[in-house]
Amino acid sequence: MAGDKERQRRLARERHLQQQALNRARRERRRKQGIIGLSILAACGLIVGLVLAFLPSTPKPKVSAHASSSPTATPSASTAATVKEPATHCTYTAAKPVAKTVSFPPSTPDYTASYTAMLHTNLGSISFDLLNSKATCTVNSFVHLAEAGYFNNTQCHRLVTTGIYVLQCGDPYATATTKLTCSTTSDVGTGTPGYNYASENLTDAKYTAGTVAMANEGSATSNGSQFFIVYKSIPSGSLAASYTPFATVSSGLNIVQNVAKEGTTCQESAGGGPPKEKVIIDSVTIQKT
């Protein structure tokens, strides 16, 4: 009897020791699996981080004029002017990003007036005759911005020398001292005055040398402060009739033409780039008759 009991106790101790060994083995396997799992997660996180780091950032929508892929420059029904000109009432709606704070223009324009604008630049003066009877709300906005000093100490930030021939200005993000680049993350080219408004004067619009027109984001209601000067006649069909012609250059077009001869410092993905010869608008004065 004593021998049987001793044998049972020995077997019980052995089973207990075996169970402890099994438990230790299980814990060790779980620990290793946990370490491997964390390592895999860390590696995956590193890979995802590297991928995100090297992916190109989403470019901000730029306000600009683009060469048209359409065979004609005939405006579509959605972009054609819908108000009878000269307009007696103008609607301006809030927009972002605000490049420089300014009040909204008056909603009741002086549609009977005649206006001229003088751009005083570091390269000389450029004069515009504003087409108040054909693009009343656009002229109303331009006059308002000019008189508020909105364009003062800004650069013309984009020059296009192939496909279309324009110098684009009117974004206060491009200050007189800003170093212009072709970076897709730059704010330059995206600025608004805090409002936008509908296009005008698009029916049979032509962009001949000396035309001054509004740049936009590609929709008929995204006009703000940015405009472009056509320094060489754009062939019919190369630029869709989607950009409001609101003025013509009466003097100083040769200044823009000389800037165009110097070319750009780099090329943006949408075409064009900062002009090599810096064009700074010191101020804009308006004469009303």
Block residue for tokens 């090297």: 54
The rounded distance, in Å, linking the Cα atoms of 100 and 88 is 27
Question: Are the C-beta atoms of 65 and 239 separated by less than 8 Å?
Answer: yes
pLDDT in tens, 133-162: 999 999 999 999 999 999 999 999 999 999
Q: How far is the C-alpha of 222 from the C-alpha of 188, rounded, in Å?
A: 16
DSSP 137-171: HHHHHHHHHHHTTTTTTEE--EEE-SSS-EEEE--
Q: What is the pTM of this model?
A: 0.77
- Fill in the amino acid letter for 17: L
Report pLDDT digits (tens) over 80-118: 445 689 999 999 999 999 999 999 999 999 999 999 999
* Residue whose C-alpha is closest to residue 286's, from 121, 76, 142: 142
